[in-house]
Amino acid sequence: MALAPAPARPDRPLLADVLRSEWTKLRSVRSTYWTLLAAAAATIGLGAILCSVYASHYSHLSLQDRARFNAASFSLSGIMLAQLAIGVLGVLVMTSEYSTGMIRATFAATPQRRLVLGAKAAVFAGVTVVIGVASCFAAFFAGQAILSGHHLQTTIGAPGVLRAVVGGGLYLAVLGLLSLGLGTLIRHTAGAIAAVFGLILVLPGIVGALPSSWANAIGPYLPSTAGQAVFHVGFRFHELAPWPGFGVFCAYAAAALLGAALVLSRRDA
């Protein structure tokens, strides 16, 4: 009796299989948990500390300082520190495989390199959105609980507040994708981290040192400035509107990933 022929394996790996593989890689590395925990702790903890300090000194503040205070933005201040952890993790998602040589095994198992990059981006963005949005909600409610003792709190239904809280998590996710793209382009951990920190920390300072006419024209379109508009509440001079600014930030991340996809398919692992 002849045996039935074994079913032919598909020539191209299924996207679900590649996604599962990248999810296994991400969750099996201990540094992933520590970095995400650091980002969540920074988002919640720093916002709570700053709200507590402000509330304790409120009676000694000038009328001008009180007028500038925004309860929602204050409670989300920790995002500025959390972005450093997310940026590092986004770089490591790709560069860690280059540093260990595991990238060769990855591309041997899945020759479609752009598919690998897309799967990494999808998995990492999904994880970062969940952690980022959850942390921002926790930071907001913790901060408002602290401020409520002095009747300084706001509500999630106030104009722009829900957008800012959700936008904070989205900002961290897109920053992670930008970092992933730069990590793929540069391939070296230290160099890619330096590039990310240069974009989000150093470049705004350099532009700010330019003559005011130049700084006001260029500043709103910098990656970090444009992206951070989405979790700011209230009008700010020389800053893009929240969603247009976030769109500009997404364009930077898309450009980095597109460049990474082109380079990834043309050079050796």
Q: Encode pLDDT of 245-258 as tens digits.
A: 999 999 999 999 99
Is the pLDDT confidence value at 11 over 80? Answer: no
Amino acid at position 29, single letter: V
Residues 6+ apart with CB under 8 A from 91: 179, 180, 182, 183, 189, 192, 193, 196
Q: How confident is the model at residue 237 (pLDDT cuts 50, 70, 90)?
A: confident
Q: What are the φ/ψ torsions at residue 11 (nearest 5 degrees)?
A: -70, -30
Q: What pLDDT, on the 0 to 100 scale, is given for residue 1?
A: 46
Q: Which residue has the higher pLDDT, 6 or 130?
A: 130
Domain ranges of the chain: 79-133+157-264
Contact between 129 and 40 (Cβ < 8 Å): no
Q: What pLDDT, on the 0 to 100 scale, is given for residue 60?
A: 77
Is the pLDDT confidence value at 104 over 50? Answer: yes
